[in-house]
Structure 1
Amino acid sequence: MKTLFQKTTLKNLDLQNRVVMAPMTRARTSQPGNIPNEMMATYYKQRASAGLIISEATQVSDDAQGYSFTPGVYTDAQVKGWQQVTKTVRDQGAAMFCQLWHVGRVSHPTFQKGELPIAPSALAPIETKVWICDENGNGEMVDCLQPREMTQGDIDRVINDFAISAKRAVEAGFDGVEIHGGNGYLIDQFLRTNSNKRSDKYGGSSENRMRFLLEVVDAVIEAIGADKVGVRLAPFITFKDMNCPEIVPTILQASKALQDRDIAYMHLSEADWDDAPVIPESFRIELRKLFTNTIIVAGSYTKARADEMLTKGYADLVAFGRPFVSNPDLVERLETQAELAELDGATLFGGNELGYTDYPALSGKYSD
């Protein structure tokens, strides 16, 4: 029987437990250049008792960015910055994947050299904002604008950007990459009928709407190998104006195609707010039939819920997000059933060590 704290494997990787640190944007890079730094290395090192760490979302190009201070993995300086992060994580015994993203329409001309963001269709997301911060640390939430519809040239370039960034991530010391295909960002925008109104081979039928995802996956597999590739999908998350009536069957169809490619894992991103939709058990059963490789689940999991998912066979690894922010020693706290420290939401994005590396462990000490 699977348990949360037992050792396991992910393709060719040995994991010290089934606990995953979920990707969470923290916006602490050095500027200019969105470069990972020593403070980030300390942050991830503190949490490296997890079996697997998935990095915060990391842009694959200049135009992939949608929020201030998020890291990239496509320049020499960014790769060098990540190398100090991955080394310290590996030294603590954890594996680490880099989550690759392109935000698509969830952006602003501020991040696009004054140009409009790109998307499957020229449709602005309703009531969706991005965080923009100036050089003095003053940030504000700004409405997304109507994007520009991607040409075939744009599509080809972005696919290539994912492949190149995957290679650079491996060069930076990551054990693999997670392709972000959920939460309303570019790949998710292609998958959904309400954000994808294209009439070419990338729009209309579910096969066409899946095409961009699968072309990205195929390019990344060719670049670094299927055993180093994970994909995050979010069929039941509808924020950022992503309520699509066809998304669940489309995701199930995509799951089969991903299993056929024998990727390392699928990461199911679940809504984590109070009145979030409950994922039907029938979906989990069907997903497991279609995708038999490793499944990671994430979304307000407690130890009890994690054990239930593992026992029923619906998941192989369980990811924790916000609890890992305020509890660097989360694995120990879960295992000993210790009280969890509360999160300071005001310090989530941007800033310095405050609310980042200064959460103490159970011992009351900070980890350097």
Structure 2
Amino acid sequence: VTVSVLYWKRSPPSPPPTITMSMFKPLKIGAIEAPNRFFMAPLTRCRATEDGHVPTDMMVEHYAQRASAGLIIAEATMVQDGHSAFLSEPGVYSPEQVAAWRKVTDAVHAKGGRIFLQIWHGGRACVPINTGIDTTVAPSAIRIELHGVQPEFNKTGEKIDYTTPRALETEEVPQVVAHFVAAAKNAMAAGFDGVEIHGANGYLLDQFWRASSNQRTDRYGGSIENRQRLTLEVVDAVAAAIGADRVGIRLSPLNSYNGMQDPEPEKITELMCAELQKRGIAFVHVMRGDFFKQQQGDVVAAARRGFKGPIVANMFYTPEEAEEQVASGLVDAVAFGTKFLANPDLPERVKAGSPLNEADPKTFYTRGAEGYTDYPAM
């Protein structure tokens, strides 16, 4: 059920931000040039079809409205049928999905925009009751216990527990890599300018990377080098398939969402980013905080020590702080989530000093146009 009155209609807008010009400078990011440093972060919004996970015309309108972003990173998109963590999330593994995504990319490009697709496997965070798979998979048979599956994300309509996953066999791991490669190729066929590999927020690649969810004793577990191996294998294979200059990756070394912890977040970030530097990918996208504020550390600085290419930072930024960090050279761009959700013309609003709409959390995951395509531009 959607809410009849949007939050931005009930509450006063945020005061207009005041920034200088660094955020409006173009940025070479791999094979493309972003016209500004206001990137749109990938946001799960549950607006694809429930059966088939096909992008809808509503999604075409939503992304086209936000084409003035320096780069749109479209939402987490399934690389393998059945392995979804949410209802009505899109995939990119079927011809029907590819054709529907082409409508999105055509609409964004027609407005002069640039768009990458975030490709993603949920691992143990997937919900079998939604798709009928027998079991979820993960590096180790460790269930998510920090929180359950919220009512809006499963077919029961009630909060339920996550299932205990099955640990992937060593010989199965190349199949995971192959799914990411196929998804990347399909994304390019659908007209995307590149892909962002989802290595964050407690999903499959992150589950291998961080210690709390990985108790393996094979070449994919134990040392930091072993735990980051799968992610780097995916990066290498995807880069070989579509070009390293069209590949980015998202990391969340501090985020405890989906029951994630690591005792050395800054160390694993610097080591991972040093390996990514060798590969010459387009960008590294770093989430700097923790949804639950359980872990702390300066992971953006750690990423910069390891990676000398474009760093995109995310989480809880104001336009003013984004300007400060871009001007200092600590980061090269900032990805905004809820601010782009509520302000389709975010760069123009900031440049004009116009007040910002406030986002309405009640419509984040509802299925309709309300709270999705009806936030006003200036």
Q: With structure 2 as the length reference, what TM-score do the two structures score?
A: 0.90
Q: Is the CA contact (8 Å cut-off) linking 2:143 and 2:162 kept in structure 1? A: yes
Distance 1:82 1:132, change over 3 A: farther
Aligned with residue 145 of structure 2, among 126, 131, 151: 126
How much has 1:284 moved relative to structure 2? 3.6
Residue 82 of structure 2 aligns with an amino acid whose one-letter code is D
Q: What secondary structure, in the 3-state scheme, does the structure 1 residue paired with 2:44 have?
A: coil
Aligned with residue 337 of structure 1, among 342, 350, 353: 353
Aligned with residue 346 of structure 1, among 362, 366, 369: 362
1:203 matched to 2:221: yes
C-alpha distance after superposition, 1:63-109 (max 9, x if no partner): 33111111001100000000000011111111100001111101222
Distance 2:131 2:174 in 1: 18
Distance 1:31 1:274, change over 3 A: closer
Aligned with residue 188 of structure 1, among 199, 202, 206: 206
How much has 1:133 moved relative to structure 2? 5.8
1:3 matched to 2:19: no
Q: Is the CA contact (8 Å cut-off) linking 2:198 and 2:249 kept in structure 1? A: yes
Residue 323 of structure 2 aligns with an amino acid whose one-letter code is D
Q: Is the CA contact (8 Å cut-off) linking 1:120 and 1:149 kept in structure 2? A: yes
How much has 1:32 moved relative to structure 2? 2.0
Aligned with residue 146 of structure 1, among 148, 164, 174: 164
Aligned with residue 307 of structure 1, among 323, 345, 362: 323
How much has 1:331 moved relative to structure 2? 1.1
Distance 1:273 1:241, change over 3 A: closer
Give the corresponding residue for 1:366.
Answer: none
Q: What secondary structure, in the 3-state scheme, does the structure 2 residue paired with 1:90 have?
A: helix
* Counterpart mapping for 1:130-279 below 5 A: 130-131=149-150, 139-271=157-289, 279=297
Residue 254 of structure 1 aligns with an amino acid whose one-letter code is M
Distance 2:21 2:352 in 1: 18
How much has 1:2 moved relative to structure 2? 7.0
Give the corresponding residue for 2:35.
Answer: 16
Q: Is the CA contact (8 Å cut-off) linking 1:27 and 1:69 kept in structure 2? A: yes
Distance 1:277 1:243 in 2: 8
C-alpha distance after superposition, 1:338-365 (max 9, x if no partner): 2111111111013110111011112xxx
C-alpha distance after superposition, 1:240-268 (max 9, x if no partner): 21121033312211100011000000000
Aligned with residue 89 of structure 1, among 91, 108, 112: 108
How much has 1:160 moved relative to structure 2? 0.2
Q: Is the CA contact (8 Å cut-off) linking 1:62 and 1:111 kept in structure 2? A: no
How much has 1:285 moved relative to structure 2? 3.7
Q: Is the CA contact (8 Å cut-off) linking 1:68 and 1:132 kept in structure 2? A: no
Q: What secondary structure, in the 3-state scheme, does the structure 2 residue paired with 1:194 have?
A: helix
Q: With structure 1 as the length reference, what TM-score do the two structures score?
A: 0.92
Distance 1:222 1:327 in 2: 36
How much has 1:288 moved relative to structure 2? 1.7
- The runs of 4+ residues in structure 1 deviating greater than 6 Å are none
Aligned with residue 73 of structure 1, among 85, 88, 92: 92
Distance 1:107 1:128, change over 3 A: farther
Give the corresponding residue for 2:54.
Answer: 35
Distance 1:217 1:233 in 2: 13
Q: Is the CA contact (8 Å cut-off) linking 1:229 and 1:263 kept in structure 2? A: yes
How much has 1:58 moved relative to structure 2? 0.3
* Counterpart mapping for 1:345-364 below 5 A: 345-362=361-378
C-alpha distance after superposition, 1:287-328 (max 9, x if no partner): 323201110001111111001111221111111000111111
Distance 2:257 2:50 in 1: 30
Q: What secondary structure, in the 3-state scheme, does the structure 2 residue paired with 1:323 have?
A: helix
Q: What secondary structure, in the 3-state scheme, does the structure 1 residue paired with 2:273 have?
A: helix
Distance 2:225 2:156 in 1: 44
Q: Is the CA contact (8 Å cut-off) linking 2:139 and 2:215 kept in structure 1? A: yes
Aligned with residue 116 of structure 1, among 132, 135, 139: 135
